Chains A and B, each alone.
Chain A
Amino acid sequence: DAGVTQSPTHLIKTRGQQVTLRCSPKSGHDTVSWYQQALGQGPQFIFQYYEEEERQRGNFPDRFSGHQFPNYSSELNVNALLLGDSALYLCASSLYRVYTEAFFGQGTRLTVV
């Protein structure tokens, strides 16, 4: 089991552009959560997907959107990129209805210039 995989590992975008990040959950997991980790800060919850629906959302603007596919993989989309969106984006997978340890991916480092 490869665990949680994220792609790409690094990305450089220009202000105003749009970006899509991808995540494949750990085998057997059905829930994907996305976090933003700015430099020197702890991860901040963006949103969570289960059964292809957004179930919980953190304090992030509508520019941040997501999707979950039938195979449980997920995408994070950010529109109209700002310099402040530069961060490490982490994906975590778990099971929805029973506590399971949340497994994290290695993250995607997004730099907005």
Chain B
Amino acid sequence: AQRVTQPEKLLSVFKGAPVELKCNYSYSGSPELFWYVQYSRQRLQLLLRHISRESIKGFTADLNKGETSFHLKKPFAQEEDSAMYYCALSGIQGAQKLVFGQGTRLTINP
């Protein structure tokens, strides 16, 4: 079964503090993992994709196949990081369906 679990519905941290949003997955095979973000009143958009190994807006995520995790991290949170974050997975070829977690609402306090 394909499943994505985000254990925290809500996460609140202070500006300048480190942030870690947790994501665990189950998938038979080698999936692609993604983090999507939805800022207030904006559409869902891709933040980063594990295969790109990029750092976007200071966020990074490492795929740990042993622990089947893909946690999102940022060393110093900024107020503009407040948003809804979704972890998602898909198959690796072409246009595959995305399986989303239930999301974590991140609030950065000043």
Identify the A interface with B (CB < 8 A). Answer: 3-4, 31, 33, 35, 40-45, 48, 50, 55-56, 58, 90, 92, 94-107
Identify A104's interface contact among B4, B45, B49, B103, CB under 8 A: B45
Chain A's closest residue to B49 (CB) is A101
Tell me if B's interface is mostly helix, strand, loop or mixed.
loop
Residues of B72-97 at the interface with A, using a CB-CB cut-off of 8 Å, are 86, 88, 93-97
**Measured CA separation A44–B6 after assembly (Å):** 15
Interface residues as binary, B1-33 with A (CB distance below 8 Å gives 1, 0 otherwise): 000101001000000000000000000000010
Query: Is there contact, CB below 8 Å, between B97 and A96?
Result: no
Identify the B interface with A (CB < 8 A). Answer: 4, 6, 9, 32, 43-46, 49, 86, 88, 93-103
Query: Is there contact, CB below 8 Å, between A101 and B46?
Result: yes
Query: Which interface residue of B49, B97, B100 has the most chain A CB atoms within 10 A?
Result: B97
**Measured CA separation A55–B91 after assembly (Å):** 14
Measured between beta carbons, the chain B residues less than 8 angstroms from A58 are 97
What is the CB-to-nearest-CB distance from A112 to chain B, in angstroms, rounded to a whole number?
Answer: 22
Measured between beta carbons, the chain A residues less than 8 angstroms from B43 are 3-4, 104-107
Chain B's closest residue to A44 (CB) is B100
Query: Is there contact, CB below 8 Å, between B94 and A43?
Result: no
Query: Is there contact, CB below 8 Å, between A48 and B97?
Result: yes
Query: Is there contact, CB below 8 Å, between B98 and A50?
Result: no
**Measured CA separation A55–B103 after assembly (Å):** 27
What are the 8 A-B residue pairs with the smallest beta carbon separation, nearest first? Answer: A42-B100, A45-B97, A104-B44, A31-B95, A96-B95, A94-B95, A42-B102, A101-B46
